[in-house]
Structure 1
Amino acid sequence: MLPEQTDVLVVGAGPTGLAVAVTLAAHGVRATVVDGLAEPPVTSRAAVVHAGTLEVLDRIGVSAPLAARGLPATRFSVRDRDRVLVTVPFDRLPSRYPYALLVSQAETEAVLAERLTALGGRVLRPYRLTGLDLDAAGATARFAGGETVRARWVVGADGMHSAVRDLAGIDFGGPADDPGESFLLADVRVDSDLPRDQVSLFLGRQGPLVWAPLPDGTVRLVATVPDAPREPRARHFQALLDERGPARRPDRVTELLWGSRFRIHHRIAGTYRSGPVLLAGDAAHVHSPAGGQGMNLGLRDAVALGDTLAAVLAGRPDQLLDGYAAARRPLAEEVVGFADRLTRLATVPPAVRPLRNLLFRVVAGLPPVRRKIAVRLAGFEPDRAVIRR
């Protein structure tokens, strides 16, 4: 049952919303967390938590139990069919977590939810936000069942199609008629000679293909496609592997556990704060999944926002929240640009591919450059941008 009043209303119980609530609870602030779904999803897009994110999540007691459920990947390889263009090492990152943790987003959400429960919080379901009335003292949220909640602060962590963002009148950029990039994704069982201790990014002429092993022995596949089928089958993912994956020893899909399609735009909210409304995660920024940066940036947003909100509720000036907005948005711009560049590198015309591959081979021969890429992928923000030699 919804309370009549709350200090913080968090809309959305995905990774970002849960991480905001856990951070607040760690400071002794109990937020009201709502989600429109009756049950948490058991399938999801994101499959990697990077070292920089694990360092941040460690502050709220989440990294150790999450690491216990994941598969550490010490390398990230960029490939053109059978040719390894460059291998990026993670094992020398300046972190207690010198790897990329391969773990389903559903597991990440489960660990966060368990931590929230341990701190005395919970998620209230299903409550779908339909209205938001803002004033100088806060906001009144209205829900589909007729319920209302008065909140001092409202956190929009409700994804790309955020109701909070739309109801607050915050611009999300980009043309309204832009269909976005089309993607297929799936968890499959596959006979493959590819190493199971790393993520592989194949730069196919038709677009990128991400091959990421998961702890249960399955493989997450994500690929851009011109027009994704409504109900993808195993044959669609076999065709992607045949088209973009290893050629000498082709992968063979033996089972499709689940598959889906989605579209992604490259957009950033015009502001992360509008009065009592604050945005984080996909409600604030969306982009290509190349490099596995989206959920990671959202989780780091969440902890930063939770820390800041707790400070304001403890008596610090609410201008601190303007600082949150000012600091996080440029980071999103950087991540969106980085993901876009990776996608462009994958889809260069055939005539340019030899030059692109030569560039990668040059990078492969320069360890300082490889280490710099590792830090960038790992998601260390400016104060952690040094890597051990």
Structure 2
Amino acid sequence: MIDVLISGAGAAGLTLAIDLARRGVSFRLIDRLDVPFSGSRGKGIQPRTLEVFEDLGIVDRIAAAGSKYPPQRLHRGDDSYRDEQNMALEAPIVGEPYRTPLLIPQFLTELAMRNRLAELGGAPEYGLELIGFEQTNDSVEAQVDGANGKETIVCRYLVGADGGRSVVRHALGVEFPGKTLGIRAIVADISLDGLPRDAWHRFNDGDMARQISFCPLPHGDVFQLQAPISHDGDMELSVEALQSFIDSRLPIGKITVRDVAWASCYSMNARLAERYRVGRVILVGDAAHIHPPTGGQGLNTSVQDAYNLGWKLDGVLSGAPDWLLDSYQAERRPIAAGMLGLATGLLEKARHGDMRRGREVHQLDVSYESSQVSLRTSKPDALLIAGSRAPDASIRGAAGQPARVFNLLKGPHWTLLGYEVGGGTVSSRQGLHVHTIGAGGDYHDDQGHFSAIYALKAGDWVLVRPDGYIAGTAASDGLGALESHLSAVGVV
């Protein structure tokens, strides 16, 4: 019997597999497709997801394969145009090292994730489809079908990361309420002649019958075509058909299509599963929520679902109480609901040609303040409350080398940081890293970044969860509450 079976090897499934692999949790990752997904679909990586990718060890690979978003070039009917930057391109600051979304086609993001998983000893199993499952009090028996016939996989937990048409969700009978948004669209990766690659070209903005855009994807000659299309009939996706489609919206001969690498038509929906967990079966990513593409929230929310789930699965498998796993739905479902509202609101603006995106899409302000995992401590004056994202800060090791708070948080462990506390005040235990910052500590706050950003006083402590959110803060006389909280979540 394995610990976890993950059905679906997209971004959510790969994130969970990487996290479980680095924790030593046994799993299998299967996907019904015969080969990995090859399209650009989810092409925007938000700043908070970049922080997640840093922790997982792939942020530099992702950045090397991607680029900043180009300006949007709004073409007018008289061949003139106006350039504008609709993405908030902000310089990093000490506490937020990533503040600008990254443009990278989804297949390259997932390639970097598969390579990282291979380094950890894992790999997706393609051409293996989940066809059914039954669960008991202590296990799940899943039936899968592939080239070698049917197989039964027994696992302690089954995770459905199998997309908006999730077999797992349907089998559970979980309702998926929401609405179809009345827009059908095409997205395609094409090579073309006729447009420079220095801008994201938009034509006929605000006219849903003729609107069309071409975004240059990094490090190559491919553009991502996006356009709303009619609800009636099927659309051919050949070079000739796409050429005809483009010619119907632009002057004939303005753009020449040379090749189509990938193309898809879809109807935009906004839906949210009523439950994320039924017994030993759990939903993540698009299986739990689907968004319109505006704002670039879908892939990012999916990655962060899996990042939230991984350490909780590990904890419960290692003896933590079951409520910890219930906190996955309690924390992530409200976030998805908020993202659905954000994405649909941005879609309505996009109908009228308004494509501006700001901090609201970066996901740096996601908070789990009301979660059971967030401890109400004796420091009501804390600037960073329990449930908020733990920021970065520049520090220096006692041996003299520069370091960052994110270096201390990186990995599958909990982290307890003490400011000007001296040493030997907290007992060591498996799954908990303890660091002291300040005079006499193993790290020094030479530039004052840590004390300024975390707003701690001498003797204060901050406990950070494995997914980089603050579990609680305490003054020196409240340290026992943090240690009790660690015991309550299974870190003993």
Aligned pair partner of 2:15 in 19, 39, 58: 19
* Correspondence 1:120-131 to 2 at 5 A: 120-131=121-132
What is the alpha-carbon distance in structure 2 between the residues aligned to residue 299 and residue 225 of structure 1? 29
Structure with larger Rg: 2
Deviation, structure 1 residue 238: 5.5
Structure 2 residue runs of 5 or longer lacking an equivalent are 367-387, 392-492
Alignment of 1:114-193 (within 5 A): 114-144=115-145, 145-174=149-178, 181-191=183-193
CA distance in 2, matches of 1:330, 1:280: 13
The answer as to 2:304 corresponding to 1:300 is: yes
8 Å contact from structure 1 (residues 128, 143) kept in 2: yes
Mapping of 1:325-336 within 5 angstroms?
325-336=329-340
Counterpart of 1:206, as a letter, is M
Structure 2: distance between partners of 1:210 and 1:153: 43
Higher relative contact order (Cα pairs below 8 Å, separated by 6+ residues): 1
| Deviation of 1:223 (Å) | 1.9
Moved more, 182-191 or 85-94: 85-94
Match for residue 261 of structure 1 among 248, 260, 265: 265
**For 1:77 and 1:127, how far apart are their aligned partners in 2?**
41
Check whether the contact 1:66–1:111 (CA below 8 A) recurs between aligned residues: yes
Structure 2 equivalent of residue 91 of structure 1: 90
**Whole-Å separation in 2 of the counterparts to 1:211 and 1:232:** 16
When residues 255 and 292 of structure 1 are mapped into structure 2, their CA distance, relative to the original with a 3 A threshold, is farther
Inter-CA distance 112–185: structure 2 relative to 1 (3 Å threshold): same
Is the 2:193–2:258 Cα contact (8 Å) retained in structure 1?
A: no
2: CA distance between counterparts of 1:25 and 1:17?
Answer: 12
In structure 1, how many angstroms separate the alpha carbons of the residues matched to 2:186 and 2:268?
11
RMSD (CA atoms): 3.1
Alignment match, 1:365: none
1:86, 1:201 → 2: CA distance?
Answer: 16
The one of 225, 230, 239 equivalent to 2:235 is 230
35-44 or 111-120, larger mean C-alpha shift: 35-44
Q: What is the count of residue pairs matched by the alignment?
A: 357
Give the letter aligned to residue 334 of structure 1. Answer: G
Counterparts of 1:345-360 in structure 2 under 5 Å? Answer: 345-348=349-352
55, 59, 62: which is aligned to 1:59? 55
Q: Is 2:288 aligned against 1:284?
A: yes
1:312 paired with 2:316, answer yes
Task: Tell me if structure 1 keeps the 8 A contact 2:75–2:201.
Answer: no
Unaligned runs of 5+ in 1: 349-355, 361-369
**2-structure distance, mates of 1:206, 1:22:** 41
Q: 1:294 to 1:201 in 2, by over 3 A?
A: farther
Conservation of the 8 A alpha-carbon contact between 1:158 and 1:283: yes
Q: CA deviation at 1:37?
A: 1.9
* Contact kept in structure 2, 1:199 and 1:211, CA below 8 Å: yes
- CA offsets, 1:24-59, max 9 Å, x none? 112222321111122213235222222221111111
Q: Provide, for residues 229-254 of structure 1, a one-character-per-residue CA deviation record: whole Å limited to 9, x for no partner.
A: 43224466567667778x9xx96244
Measured in 2, the distance between the counterparts of 1:385 and 1:375 equals 17
Q: Deviations over 1:146-201 (max 9, x none)?
A: 311121111100111111111112111147xx696321111123445666366869
Match of 1:212 in 2: 215
User: Could you tell me whether the CA contact under 8 Å between 1:91 and 1:99 is conserved in 2?
Assistant: yes
Q: For 1:239 and 1:83, locate their aligned partners in 2 and report how far apart those are by CA, in whole Å.
A: 26
Amino acid aligned to 2:289: H
**Cα distance between partner residues in 1 of 2:212 and 2:285:** 24
Letter in 2 for 1:91: E
Contact 2:200 2:213 in 1 (8 A): no
- What is the match of residue 274 of structure 2? 270
Q: Distance in 1 between matches of 2:337 and 2:161?
A: 18
Structure (1 or 2) with the greater helix fraction: 1
Kindly tell me: are residues 334 and 128 of structure 1, through their superposed partners in 2, closer, same or farther at Cα, counting changes over 3 Å?
same
The Cα shift of 1:80 comes to 7.4
* Corresponding residue number in structure 2 for 1:6: 2
8 A Cα contact 1:186 1:256, kept in partner: no
Q: TM-score, normalised by structure 2?
A: 0.65
Cα separation, 1, equivalents of 2:39 and 2:158: 27
Q: Which SS does the other structure have where 1:282 is aligned?
A: helix
Q: For structure 1, which segment, 82-91 or 338-347, has the greater mean C-alpha deviation from structure 2 after superposition? A: 82-91
Shift of 1:91: 3.0
2 CA distance for matches of 1:99 and 1:67? 11
**TM-score of the pair, normalised by structure 1:** 0.81
Moved more, 107-116 or 376-385: 376-385
Amino acid across the alignment from 2:2? T
Q: What are the Cα deviations for residues 39-95 of structure 1, in whole angstroms up to 9, with x where unaligned?
A: 21323522222222111111111211121212232x664857534576333233554
Which residue of structure 2 aligns with residue 70 of structure 1?
A: 66
Cα distance in structure 2, aligned partners of 1:170 and 1:315 = 28
Distance 1:43 1:162, change over 3 A: same
Q: 1:158 and 1:43 mapped to 2: Cα distance? A: 17
Determine helix, strand or coil for the equivalent of 2:48: helix
